[in-house]
Amino acid sequence: MTRPQNSPVHYQEVARDGHARAGVFQTKNGQVLTPAFMPVGTQATVKALSAQEVSDTGASMTIMNTDHLWLRPGAEIVKELGGLHKMAGWKGAIATDSGGFQAFSLAARTKLSEEGFRFSSHLDGKRLLLSPEEAMRVQGALGSDVAMQLDVCLPGQTERSQLVDALERTTRWGRRCLDSREEGQAVFGIVQGGTDIDLRLRHIEELSAMEFDGVALGGFSVGEPPEKMHHALGQVAHRMDGERIRYLMGVGTPRDLVIAIGAGIDLFDCVMPTRNARNGQVFVPRGKLVIKNSKFKTDSRVIEEGCDCPACAAGLSRGYLRHLYVAGEILVHRLLSLHNLRFYARLVADAREAILAGDYERWSKEKLREFQLGAE
């Protein structure tokens, strides 16, 4: 394995229990205790929440989106405003996705070639090329702590030959990203290969031989059954380089996180906590509540007893929150988002404590059993 020299980030494992591990990820803008969950701030903001509110949930790192910020307001404007940290008022670490997943999600409007992704802007129809070099240039201007390489992400049920083409192109693009990286910015490689174990292990070996500052697993939770993803994670996550942080992109449910941490993953991001909140769904230890359901109309209980999020700490009832949701009040989106982000932050913090105590196997089994009971 080839590890980067003079890397701007550093990962140190401090405890391991089975494959699960607790560590410290040091960046130029702060320390992240792992396992950790990054809230998604696509447009340089977690929807409806201030940077301080997100920080108060327990998050120490967020992820923002290169593609969206490249189109609006523009990388140069972000740079002129002092970079993402200053512009958004975020004092912790920031990762930026490269735009590869957006190309996947907008495949009908995107043309893939060795150059990169050609697509039409959804804002003004302008034809653009997102190449590995441009992805690095934009992320350099944004000033994130961690830049993700441009990769090729495919749907979960893709044929093996197409998966091979995607991972080989991702490797070539990875070299181009490293060759054009901004000074002082960490770059993570992205492992592809679907749920094919052999391809995943092959790609892990290829990317680990390159000077990436961290390695991520991409191309999961893109249509494959959760059981197949969990099986693949159990086979490949612990085979990733233990001296670099291991990041699982875009995943997922609380159950996914508990299983993936047990497989050896350190870092996560997902839109689920805030997207579900905007759809009236809140996470609790026994699953989730759909707060808009009529059964909560006169429910005087808080979302989750013992939770210290703003809604629960203030004693706001499920009935009141349902009223706000049905009435279309913006406040409910903020309160439910804060609860869900706090739930995720507490979950990974509790996982860390279980690892440090050498108790992860028992703790994780209890959590997974609890999730299946169903919310009251």
Catalytically active residues, by annotation: 97, 269
5: buried, middle or exposed (CB in 10 Å: 19+, 13-18, 0-12)?
Answer: exposed
- DSSP 8-state secondary structure symbol assigned to residue 50: -
- 191: tokens are 């492992």
- DSSP 8-state secondary structure symbol assigned to residue 157: T
Contacts from 291-294 at CB under 8 Å and sequence distance 24+? Answer: 291/318, 291/321, 291/322, 291/325, 291/332, 291/336, 292/322, 292/325, 292/326, 293/322
| C-beta separation of 40 from 66 below 8 A | no
Alpha helices by DSSP H, listed for the chain, are 51-56, 66-71, 75-80, 83-88, 100-105, 132-142, 160-179, 197-208, 226-236, 254-263, 272-278, 310-313, 318-326, 330-356, 360-371
Taking the C-alpha atoms of residue 220 and residue 39, their distance in angstroms, rounded to an integer, is 18
Taking the C-alpha atoms of residue 299 and residue 171, their distance in angstroms, rounded to an integer, is 54
* Sign of torsion over alpha carbons 66, 72, 74, 79: negative
Q: Is the peptide bond before 310 cis (omega within 30 degrees of 0)?
A: no
Which residues are CB-neighbours of 150 under 8 A, at least 6 positions away? 98, 99, 100, 116, 117, 130, 131, 132, 135, 173, 177
Enclosing H/E stretch for 148:
strand 146-148
